[in-house]
Amino acid sequence: MNYDAMKQKIAKGDGFIAALDQSGGSTPKALRGYGIEESEYSGDDEMFALIHKMRSRIISSPAFTGDKVIGAILFEKTMDGSVEGKPTPSALIDKGIVPFIKIDKGLEAEANGVQMMKPMPELDALLARAKGLGVFGTKERSVVNLANAEGIAAIVKQQFEVGRQVLAAGLMPILEPEVSIKSPERAEADAILRDEIMKNLDSMPGDDQVMLKLSLPANAGLYDPLVDHPRVLRVVALSGGYSRSEACAELAKNRGMIASFSRALLEELRAQMSDAEFDKALGEAIDEIYTASTQKV
């Protein structure tokens, strides 16, 4: 797949985007969920080797194909690694799955009810390396905790600024200003976020497009104007702490949104499973998430 073919698959394809991008801070929790305790490894190198082994097992599984998984978001170390002897992006492309890379370096401390992204001084070099490996797009996460209009405006401004840098490098940005589903002001925060994103989309020059990765809204259908906006290639949803069944039930209520789940995709996978058990559990998760992404209620 070249860039145009990947763009067409993401824009029009039936399916969802798998998030395989847990980074340093969230990796121990992901490994625990997978059945590997912190006492079973020592140091970052062993930890990242184990999480890469898990991701390689997912990507190489016969259940993980481009028929239902149209894209996958990778952690930088996963992008730079290999699966079955191939660079990870190439292994995905060979299965008909479009590769993305997580580019943010974590979150700042909360201010004005939000957590901005930390600086990314080496971003241009990372983007060039990703493009050279055949990666299609990027993903960058920040978090909204409260319905603070000033904070949300700042977070959206930062997301679009980084998005423009990604576009200039020839890649497709996924902007991810996550609203915490634990926020006591969640519905109000959702609405402020939608309006801020609309303002920034309306002021984009030229004919560039971005993607959006958003929390499932407290009020179903709230993001319909974003789904329909000509500057939005696709709107994807994060699971945000919901179980898979809860996330799928909420996703099915939202027209035009497809999943980009991490924890909800992996929640029943264990390192101790046989290959047959692993492939069966992964296949069932993929089927459930695919259905919620493609069949709306």
Which residues are identified as catalytic? 176, 213
First-residue to last-residue Cα distance in the chain: 33
Read off the DSSP letter of residue 111.
B
Contact 125, 141 (CB under 8 A): no
Read off the DSSP letter of residue 40.
G
Collect all residues with Cβ–Cβ distance below 8 Å to 283 and sequence separation of at least 6: 61, 63
Q: How far is CA 45 from CA 42, 53, 73, 105, in A?
A: 8, 12, 21, 18
Contact 166, 103 (CB under 8 A): yes
Cα–Cα distance, 67 to 212 (Å, whole number): 22
Contact 115, 143 (CB under 8 A): yes
Contact 140, 178 (CB under 8 A): no
In 189-228, DSSP assigns E strands to 210-215
Contact 111, 158 (CB under 8 A): no
Q: How far is CA 101 from CA 6, 181, 202, in A?
A: 14, 24, 26
Read off the DSSP letter of residue 61.
S
